[in-house]
Structure 1
Amino acid sequence: MGFPRKSLFLLLFLILFTNLAESASDYTTLVYKGCSKETFTDPNGVYSQALSSLFGSLVSQSTKAKFFKATAGSGQSSMTGLFQCRDDLSNSDCYNCVSRLPVLSDKLCGKTTAARIQLLGCYMLYEVVGFTQISGMQILYKTCGGTNAAGRGFEERRDTAFSVMENGVVTGHGFYATSYQSLYVMGQCEGDVGDSDCGECVKSAVQRAQVECGSSISGQGKIQGRQWL
């Protein structure tokens, strides 16, 4: 079925750091890989050609865009995919980030029918057309810091920062980052998600982050949700 007609995909970074400058400059660290359990047989090389063409299109577009979707191949060998960069990266940094993803995808996932690779600064997905999508909300990954903050003061500051971000991703059309009393939070939705849907998705993600990570002083997460129409 490929990409559904309507999707909500949240690429959400919830990062709370005091050393913001150093953290923001690190955009090539691997934080997540998701590989399909299904592999494709490719005696004629049609899938490999389609995937190579898809990766080429995505990487070339990363020199001038922060988000791009593409399709390559034909018929049952068609592949569809996308990349997205953090909106605060320069075009050069976006390209440097995205250009690493095809090699990592092959190394980490091999010839699977679908793969997702996430670095701190960018993300790439591909799927063989016809691969079954998930429905509902799902946490793809989460990482909570090992150090917890004591007292309600931290949680109050955290929740205020989250509230600001929830509003900010709507007015910021899918991306928002801010510092609040030594806390740094950043949220981003997939590039073609509408402002209202993005706001609802971020709100849901924040609620999960509050439960999943509690009073951890740092955390990152990605939530995917899809609606079938």
Structure 2
Amino acid sequence: MGSPRKPFWFLPFFCVILTILHLTPHSKSADDFTTIVYKGCAKQTLSDPTGAYSQALSSLFGTLIAQSSKAKFFKTTTGNGQTSINGLFQCRGDLSNVDCYTCVSKLPILIDKLCGKPIAARLHLFGCYMLYEVSGFAQISGMEMLYKSCSGTNIGGSGFEEKRDTALSSLGNGMSSSNGFYTTSYESVYVMGQCEGDVGASDCVECVKTAVQRAQVECGSSIAGQIYLHKARAKYWKDSGYNIRRGSRSGFLVIFMLFAIQV
């Protein structure tokens, strides 16, 4: 008769470890592209005694959400005459149609929650943005800076700024044949640029180059930074310091700049 088998004393411990690993939340999730970057809300609320504006705004949101399942950019107008509302959405160029729809569909609820019902509002998530404005709302320059974010980590004196500037220069040049969205890298420095969907090719290049220059000036030797203009944006990051796909903002000093409101 053989000797009795030793009990599997380690199994409960092993199962506990597996359970902990399974339940531990991931530091980043696939839907981080819906994280809020910034908002801009007009100070003046909609005067809507007849409900015409609310109806036009609801119709606008519905149209934009529907279009986001098949396009990365769409611009339209709803309502009539003085009660018409202009609006658009845009998704990041590397998002799938499914992710674009997921991102855009969150925007109307968030706009209502964060802004209420002003005469104009703009909300940027990491993967998409939406804006609307009533007919006759004062326009601002496409070069107007709306928002900047620079990493709190600096690495001056290491040659990083030269590498970053080379990467940003490549970004400015690449935008000319990119159809409005371009991303590239140089020696572990990654860059991305995007223009609003209705901006012409030459204006897009100039707009992104302006954003690039602002990033260089505003962020200095920061390991990552992003600049949002009214009609374009540019960002850079080193290695894994900034995950463009998921939109990690770890270590960022966020500076909110509400877009210019003129009433």
Q: Aligned pair 1:165/2:171, yes or no?
A: yes
Q: Displacement of 1:167 after TM fit? A: 1.1
Q: Which residue of 2 is the match for residue 17 of structure 1?
A: none
**In structure 2, the residue corresponding to 1:219 is in which secondary structure?**
strand
* Aligned counterpart, 1:134: 140
Counterpart for residue 200 of structure 2: 194
- Which of 90, 96, 103 is equivalent to 2:96? 90
Identity of aligned residues (%): 69
CA contact 2:143–2:210 (8 Å) conserved in 1: no
Q: Relative contact order: is structure 1 or structure 2 higher (C-alpha 8 Å, sep ≥ 6)? A: 1
1:178 alignment partner in structure 2: 184
SS at match of 2:230: strand
Greater C-alpha Rg: 2
**Is residue 75 of structure 1 aligned with residue 81 of structure 2?**
yes
Residue 16 of structure 1 corresponds to none
Aligned to 2:152: 146
CA distance in 2, matches of 1:71, 1:145: 38
Q: Deviations over 1:102-134 (max 9, x none)?
A: 001111111100000000000101000111112
Confirm or deny that 1:28 pairs with 2:26: no
Once the two structures are TM-superposed, the CA of residue 149 in structure 1 deviates from its matched residue by 1.0
8 Å contact kept, 2:143–2:207? no
Q: Trace 1:48-59 onto structure 2 (pairs within 5 A).
A: 48-59=54-65
Write the distance in 2 (CA, Å) between the matches of 1:190 and 1:225.
5
**What are the superposed Cα offsets for residues 83-104 of structure 1, whole Å, 9 maximum, x if unpaired?**
0000100000000000000001
Q: Which amino acid aligns with 2:77?
A: T
Q: Distance in 2 between matches of 1:73 and 1:121?
A: 28
Deviation at 1:181, TM superposition (A): 1.5
What's the CA shift for 1:179? 2.4
CA distance in 2, matches of 1:135, 1:217: 29
Q: Counterpart of 2:125 in structure 1: which amino acid?
A: L
Q: Which runs of 5+ in 2 are unaligned?
A: 1-27, 233-263
**CA-CA distance at 1:224 after TM superposition:** 1.9
- Aligned mates of 1:57, 1:180 — CA distance in 2: 40
Query: How far does residue 41 in structure 1 lie from its aligned partner after superposition?
Result: 1.5
- Is residue 2:52 matched to residue 1:46? yes
| Aligned residue type for 1:157 | K
- String of CA shifts for 1:39-73, please: whole Å, max 9, x gaps: 11212111110000000000000000000001101
5+ residue gaps, structure 1, are: 1-21
CA change 1:23–1:207 in 2 (3 A) is: farther
Q: Which amino acid in structure 1 is aligned with residue 194 of structure 2? A: Q
Is structure 2 residue 212 aligned with structure 1 residue 206? yes
The SS at the match of 1:134 is: coil
Q: What is the distance in 2 between the residues matched to 1:24 and 1:219?
A: 22
**What TM-score do you get using the length of structure 1 for normalisation?**
0.85
State the shift of 1:197 in Å. Answer: 0.8
Residue aligned with 1:50, SS: helix
Determine whether 1:124 maps to 2:130.
yes
Give the alignment's TM-score, normalised by structure 2. 0.75
Alpha-carbon deviation of 1:25?
A: 6.5
Paired residues, number: 205
Q: Distance in 1 between matches of 2:30 and 2:223?
A: 16
Distance 1:216 1:24 in 2: 26
Which secondary structure does the structure 2 equivalent of 1:137 belong to?
coil
- Output the aligned Cα RMSD: 1.7
Distance in 2 between residues matched to 1:189 and 1:136, nearest whole Å: 10
